[in-house]
Structure 1
Amino acid sequence: MTAAPRSEPEHQDDRAEPPVERAGVRDLIAAYPWLPIPVGLLLSALGVWCFAELAEEVYRGGPVLRVDEHLLRVSLALRSGPLVGALSVLTWLGDVLVVLPVSLAIGVLIGVTRHRWAPLLLLAVSSAGTGLAVYLFKIMIARPRPQVVDALVAEDGFGFPSGHSAHAAALYLMLGAFGLRLLRSRWARRAGFAAAVLAVVITGFSRVVLGVHSPTDVLAGWALGASWTVLLLSLWLFGEHLPRLIDALVARKRPG
């Protein structure tokens, strides 16, 4: 009696499945725009350090006060009628009564036309944070307005830091950054950012020539407003790219 032929063993596929490719540190570095974020954080930290150094010098009555007095006396030579008249108007670029409406108007305009409401939130947080910081530091430092020159416009309160300079730096630098992202023409982007920087410079310059702030008040205001705005923009950039980065890393973990 012959044995029944044994059935051939089923063919087994010896081909190994391709290994699942997983994202690593190098992929993370390659996929994410790391450079602008640490640069922004570094610039923000540098601005905070500059502000702290100026605040300490002013509070302790350091040598910088003599430099302030010298520069204020030099500014007297610039007080020509046309220049003073122009600066008396341009100095309003940093006033809260101008900064807040401009921030809200441009934020709403970007939201309606581009369907992006993050700029409105950034402008609101930038203005509110700058105003609060200026108010608190004015009380803590309690520096009087310049005494060596006569003020050409009426101002009350303390001098350090310059609120106009801080608000101008916070608002117009942020608007310049938005212009770099939203404007299509290279010429328009460059012109918009240059106009933003010019507005910041003119506002601070006007406060010195008009005799309502010392140069260190203006420098401290610039450092405060710029560092706060750069920090917010860096965090915004991080949050904007984070979902895309997560999607890319998750996709790389899935088998092909």
Structure 2
Amino acid sequence: MPKIEDILKETTQKFLQAGIESAELNAKILLCKALNCKSIDLFINKNKSLLSSEIDEFNKLVAKRLKRIPLQYLEEKVQFYDLELFITNEVLIPRQETEELVDFTLSKIKNKQNKTILDIGTGSGCIALAIAKNLPNSQVTGIDKSKESISVANKNKNLLHIENVQFVAESLENYLPKTKFDVIISNPPYVPLVNYMQLEPEIFFEPKDAITDGEDGLYFYKLIEKKLPLLLNNKGSIFLEIETTLKDEIQKIFTNVAKPNIIKDIYGLERILFLEEINF
């Protein structure tokens, strides 16, 4: 039977030929998944031969990755803002840019106690859970129209033992809370449809309606602005992840609400729009 070292080399070469980035890392992560072990174990046991059942399980994962199914879906987990989250293909894969949205939001509101916070389009619950964990005196609500997403978010809540957060299966269009919120945060579907069709193959395995509004990328910003009086307390704040190429249009949407501010991400792209001290 083939050894761990040989299997990793062979699989890395397959991934390289398929144009998969970080080929060796992908191979190691999938083998760890198949063997239910840690990366260090692969090195320690590199000369160990695998059982046929272990090879079969690994080959199934490799075949899926070669079809460009995202690694995170195969691993069924992702790291986000010091949290390990369970994910499925029912939810958007959390990304580094969204960690920056969380980090910036926390920097602006961390000294304000007992805040109520709404996360629109919560997906896996990544934003809501990260905010709730870092602001234990806050009350966070995450909404999503997808019942499957809410199921994943609730599973993450239970796995992480974070109590000051709740998840509601409801669309933004129909959501009417009993009480308004102090802060709204969201990473809405903002990729214009024309841009979506040109993205890398892995993207097409993620929920389409979590990435694009099927139009020009502005639908949810307009909807958020329209519903603000029903959702946000006076003097409240909004923090939104945005599509860089749409920054001017998005700023115009919120001009009548308050002065929009734009923050760049680590790549120098305008990625976060925020408004503070909003008056109604």
What TM-score results when the alignment is normalised by the length of structure 1? 0.28
Q: Which has the higher helix share?
A: 1
Greater length-normalized contact order (CA 8 Å, ≥ 6 residues apart): 1
What TM-score results when the alignment is normalised by the length of structure 2? 0.26
Q: Which has the higher strand share?
A: 2
